[in-house]
Structure 1
Amino acid sequence: MEEGLFETLVTSGLSARLDQLAADLKASMQSVDKADQPEVLARHLRDALMRAIASKRTDTERVQLVNDVLDLLDPAEDPVAEPPSQLTRLSRPAAPGVVAMADVRPRTPLPDAALLTNSPWEPSLGSELRAEIETSDGVDLLCAFVKWHGPRMPEPQLARLQGRTVPLSGDHNQGEAPRALPGRSRHRAAEHVPRPRSGEVP
Structure 2
Amino acid sequence: MYQTTEVNFMLKEGVYEQLINRELKQKLKQLSLDKYLIEKEELDVEEAKTILSDYISSIVKKALRFIRENSKQNDKEALLSQIEACNELIRILANIARERNIEEFKIEEEGEVLTALYSKINSIKAVKESKAVRPITPLSQSSLFTGSAQEPNMMSELKKEILCCDSIDMLVSFVKWSGLRCIIEELREFTEQEGHRLRIITTSYMGATDYKAIEELSKLKNTEIKISYDTERTRLHAKAYLFKRETGFTTAYIGSSNLSSVAITSGLEWNLKVTEKDSFDIIKKFEATFESYWNDGEFIAFNGEAQEDKERLKTSLN
Q: What TM-score range do you get, normalising by the shorter chain?
A: 0.7 to 0.9
Contact 2:217 2:223 in 1 (8 A): no
Among 69, 87, 95, the alignment partner of 2:114 is 87
- 1:70 counterpart residue number: 90
The 1:163/1:170 distance shift into structure 2, 3 A limit, reads closer
Could you tell me how far 1:171 is from its partner in structure 2? 4.8
Question: Letter of the aligned partner of 1:43 in structure 2?
Answer: D
- 1:170 counterpart residue number: 199
Could you tell me how far 1:31 is from its partner in structure 2? 2.4
Q: SS in structure 2 opposite 1:153?
A: helix
Q: 1:85, 1:10 → 2: CA distance?
A: 35
The 1:114/1:81 distance shift into structure 2, 3 A limit, reads same
How is 1:27-106 mapped onto 2 (pairs within 5 angstroms)?
A: 27-56=38-67, 57=71, 58-74=78-94, 75-76=100-101, 77-78=103-104, 79-93=106-120, 95=122, 98-100=123-125, 103-106=132-135
Bigger drift between 75-84 and 109-118 goes to 109-118
Could you tell me how far 1:159 is from its partner in structure 2? 1.2
Question: Letter of the aligned partner of 2:17 in structure 1?
Answer: E
Contact 1:126 1:153 in 2 (8 A): yes
TM-score (norm 2): 0.54
Could you tell me how far 1:117 is from its partner in structure 2? 3.9
Root-mean-square deviation (CA, aligned residues, Å) is 2.6
Deviations 1:8-27 (A, max 9, x none): 10113211201212354322
User: Is 1:8 the counterpart of 2:33 in the alignment?
Assistant: no
Identity of aligned residues (%): 25
Could you tell me how far 1:128 is from its partner in structure 2? 0.8
Question: Letter of the aligned partner of 2:37 in structure 1?
Answer: K
Contact 1:106 1:131 in 2 (8 A): yes
Q: SS in structure 2 opposite 1:141?
A: strand
Could you tell me how far 1:85 is from its partner in structure 2? 1.3
Could you tell me how far 1:36 is from its partner in structure 2? 1.3
The 1:179/1:145 distance shift into structure 2, 3 A limit, reads closer
Question: Letter of the aligned partner of 1:53 in structure 2?
Answer: L
Q: 1:103, 1:70 → 2: CA distance?
A: 31
The 1:8/1:158 distance shift into structure 2, 3 A limit, reads same
Instruction: Give ranges in structure 2 of 5+ residues lacking alignment.
Output: 1-10, 72-77, 95-99, 225-290, 296-318
Could you tell me how far 1:123 is from its partner in structure 2? 2.0
Could you tell me how far 1:94 is from its partner in structure 2? 7.6
Instruction: Give ranges in structure 1 of 5+ residues lacking alignment.
Output: 173-177
User: Is 1:186 the counterpart of 2:210 in the alignment?
Assistant: yes
Q: Determine which structure has the larger strand proportion and give its number.
A: 2
TM-score (norm 1): 0.82
